[in-house]
A and B are shown apart, each in its own frame.
Chain A
Amino acid sequence: MHPATSPTADTPAGRNHRTPLSRRRFARGLAAVALAVPLVLGAAGCGDDEAGADGPVKLSVFWWGGEARAKLTEDALALYTKKHPEVTFEKTWQANQGYFDKLATLTAGGNPPDLFQIDDNYLAEYAGRSTTLDLTSYRDSGKLDVSKFPKSLWQYGVVDGKLAGLAAGENTQGLVYNKTLLEKNGLPAPTTGMTWEEHIAWAEQVAKKAKVPGTQDPSADYKAFWVWLRQQGKDLYRGQELGFTAEDVTRWFELWQGARDRGATPTPDVIHEGNATDITKQLVVTGKAATSWVWANQMPDLKKNTKDELGVIAYPGDPSAQWARASMYWSVFKGSKHKDVAVDVINFMMNDPEAVALLGTDRGLPSNLDLRAKVSETATDPAMKQSIQVESELAQKFGESPQVPIKGHSKVRSELTKAAENAQYGRATPAEAAAQFVTACKSAIG
């Protein structure tokens, strides 16, 4: 397209306007047009819109989630189309399981969505391979407005100095418990700040009295392990290295072996069922345990799967080990033909009062603090209200955000599950399982 713009953009030639050379300029211009026309036609054939910003744009959007999220997201996108009639959306969504397989396949097939949802399990994988657009320049120019975001929240999308995704919401680890069950059996509710030992002792009491295991065994759960590590002054990652040793893992596995021996947790096969990431499989809603280890923003979704009343608190131990985590991000594909529009859509979903009101807390607390306050005031769903309240309380106690998990993290997660289950089924001692895990991690991130 450069030949087409050169005759007018060429300012030195413009100064020669009144010289007799204008005939030569005319010929040059004609040649430029002759060159440019096929180029423009060719570009139009490819469906490029950068040349004519006013042309209709069809933006592909891909996310994971349930039907409720689909409805909210579709409403918000429809609102964008209402305000910008030239922009329409091709929406695709599916369950979390298999989402990243599909995203990778779409990317490999040269047909990735312009705009997609991603989380910290994969952000570094995608950013490290330059699949995501660096949003830094948009943030600097204010096209992507993060001025109302908590700084730690949008910074949790920075990988290798690039803003790889923008936090679509904020959440934190949440321990969800079955209120109805506890009340029925005259048992006390757990509270934030209980130590791990106290939590396990409490769970043992529940198991004895209510005949339901008090807590899911979270030894396979990276987010619980992570919080526990941070309370020991360790971390999941330090730079490009592991932030823990095999001894730490052994202690973690031994802690839960003790809990299993005391009958505080379910049997290994039930623990295995609860290790699935699927909301509907969480033991607190299937009635197979009194508590599940989830993200606080999943409360309303969990509530939909059970008749019982639920409560949510922080994970055991010092809650300052938890942090304002970007529950998920919106990222733009680097090769997208509609980058500017895609970024504008993100900005709209994050900062437009109407859109934020529509989206609610489904993806976590709204990132924009002003709008978060507004959404909290108007929330009607009791489960949503409760998760907002708890998350806001915890926000007072949050510590520093850790670094975004590094490349290979998804493998580290699955290796943790494998090692923990090895110990749970009694096929390895905690120390053996820990050694296996650390070896596997090193090869995964190395």
Chain B
Amino acid sequence: MALTTAPDRTRRTGPAGTHPAGRGSGRVRHGEGPAGYVFLSPWLIGLMGITAIPMLLSLWLSFTDYDILTPLSEVRWVGLANYERMFTADPAYWHAVRVTLTFALVAVPLKLAAALGVALLLNRAWRGVGLFRALFYLPSLLGGSVALAIVWVNMFNRDGAFNSFLALFGVEGLPWASDPDWALETLMVLAIWQFGAPMVIFLAGLKQIPTDLYEAASVDGAGTWRKFRAVTLPMLSPVIFFNLVLETIHGFQGFTAAFVLSHGTGGPVDSTLMYTLKLYISGFTDLEMGYASAMAWVFLAAIALITAIFFSTGRFWVHYSDGESS
């Protein structure tokens, strides 16, 4: 979808874009400059006021001992102390890193696999396939909602719906959500279940694959599996890449469900202490906002690094269709 069609669209809009310039003169564009900024201003003000300035402020705070309650004018500059403490003196920090990595490494691939699998099933011309698409997408609409997390936690309690279901088969379930060995897995299953968004993107990507490629493959005697490996996967690779990057970032940022399950503590026994939750607890419960800011910046750097790694490996396995056409 977006990634594969983008080059086409630029090509089409390219000549159209030069049209007014050819007819009029540079003077028109001069006059449009300020007006453009005026139209842009709601977004620009939002970007500066809500994103850029607070971000820079938090960068500064990460070098201070800011504790929320003390006015900003009285904070003390502590240099790299927050970063030092994070890396050397806070075992809970590394625990949170481990929890988050485990979560992302398990939940993201499984979620993408589920999304792709269901997308393949729904890509056929069945009767009522539209209804199924909507149904499978439904869980993602509920997104990171608190209500959903509450329901989920109750479903996976000792006397929750899931264990009642297991009881039908004579299996006695565990108190999943309040067992330190299973609480994180409960959250992973919740994340995987919400595969609707990548699924819809996969579906769109599948529809973009020209059917003549499959026909040609059939003529060459390729079976279903071979067609999937040789046609679907390479043709879909930009979309897979897009989903992978997006879902990985998303996975690292998981917060709501962990917060709800643990009442904001990361429990039981820190088993659901996701990075963002640890950050929140440091900032708002322990009143160490300077430290929390430092954590946020390391987090940003880590996500940027992981994304950069994805992009650098992408050229080995991502095939853009326009590469052949140009």
Q: Does A125 contact B (CB under 8 A)?
A: yes
Chain B residues whose C-beta falls within 8 Å of the C-beta of A417 in the assembled complex: 265, 267
- Bound complex: CA of A105 vs CA of B292, how far in Å? 14
Is B302 in contact with chain A by the CB < 8 A criterion? no
Is B222 an interface residue, CB under 8 A from the partner?
no
In the complex, how many angstroms separate the beta carbon of B89 from the nearest chain A beta carbon?
7
A104 touches B179 (CB 8 A): no
Please measure, in the bound complex, the distance between the C-alpha atom of A101 and the C-alpha atom of B283, giving whole angstroms: 9
Please determine whether B68 and A414 come into contact, CB atoms closer than 8 angstroms: no
User: A-facing mask of B254-290, CB < 8 A → 1, else 0?
Assistant: 0000000001110111100000000001001111010
Q: Which of B239-261 contact A (CB under 8 A)?
A: none
> B178: CB under 8 A from chain A?
yes
When C-beta atoms are compared, the residue in chain B nearest to A220 turns out to be: B267
Which residues of B pack against A, CB within 8 Å?
67-70, 89, 158, 175, 178-180, 263-265, 267-270, 281, 284-287, 289
Neighbouring A residues of B70 by C-beta, 8 Å:
129
A97–B263 contact, CB under 8 A?
yes
* Closest residue on chain B to residue A107 by CB atoms: B69
Nearest chain B CB to A374 CB, angstrom units: 38
- Asked whether A414 and B69 contact (CB < 8 A) given A269-B175, A270-B158, A272-B178, the answer is no
CB pair A97 B267 closer than 8 Å: no
A273 within 8 A of B: yes
A378 contacts chain B at the CB level, 8 A cutoff: no
Per the bound structure, the CA–CA distance linking A410 and B281 in Å amounts to 11
CB contact between A414 and one of B67, B268, B285, B289 (< 8 Å): that residue: B285
Q: Using Cβ atoms and an 8 Å threshold, which residues of chain B touch A107?
A: 68-69
Is A126's beta carbon under 8 Å from chain B?
A: yes
Chain B binding site: helix, strand, loop or mixed by DSSP? loop
**Which one, A12-20, A61-69, A240-248, A419-427, is touching chain B?**
A419-427
A and B contact pairs by CB, cutoff 8 A, 5 listed: A129-B70, A269-B178, A417-B265, A417-B267, A418-B270
In the complex, the answer to whether B67 meets A129 with C-beta atoms within 8 Å is yes
Quick check: is A108 within 8 A (CB to CB) of the other chain?
Answer: yes
Minimum CB–CB distance for B46 against chain A, Å: 18
A411 at the interface (CB under 8 A from B): yes
Contact of A422 with B269 in the complex, beta carbons under 8 Å: yes
Q: What sequence of 0s and 1s flags, for each residue 223-243 of chain A, a beta carbon within 8 Å of any chain B beta carbon?
A: 000000000000000000000
Whole-angstrom CA separation of A268 from B287 in the bound complex: 30
Interface pair A443/B179, CB less than 8 Å apart: no
List of 10 A-B pairs having minimum Cβ-Cβ separation, nearest first: A269-B175, A269-B178, A101-B284, A129-B69, A108-B68, A104-B68, A272-B178, A421-B269, A131-B69, A272-B268
A98 at the interface (CB under 8 A from B): yes
Residue A276 interfacial (CB < 8 Å): yes
A125 to B175, CA, bound (A): 36
| The residue from A97, A108, A268 contacting B264, defined by CB atoms under 8 A apart | A97
In the assembled complex, the CB of B82 is this many whole angstroms from the nearest CB of chain A, namely 14
What chain B residues lie within 8 Å of A276 (beta carbons)? 263
B287, A104: Cβ atoms under 8 Å? Answer: yes
* Bound-state Cα–Cα, A352 to B89, Å: 52
- Give the residues in chain A near B264, CB-CB below 8 Å: 97-98, 101
Residue of B nearest to A104 (CB): B68
Q: Does A100 contact B (CB under 8 A)?
A: yes
Minimum distance in angstroms from B264 CB to a CB of chain A: 7
Contacts of B284 in A (CB 8 A): 100-101, 104-105
Cβ contact within 8 Å between B269 and A410:
no
| Residues on the A chain within 8 Å of B179, using CB | 269, 425
CB distance from A260 to the nearest CB of B (A): 15
- Asked if residues A418 and B68 are in contact (CB atoms below 8 Å), the reply is no
- Complex: how many Å from CA A129 to CA B76? 13
Q: How far is the CB of A109 from chain B (nearest CB, A)?
A: 9
Given contacts A272-B178, A411-B286, contact A125 B265 (CB under 8 A): no
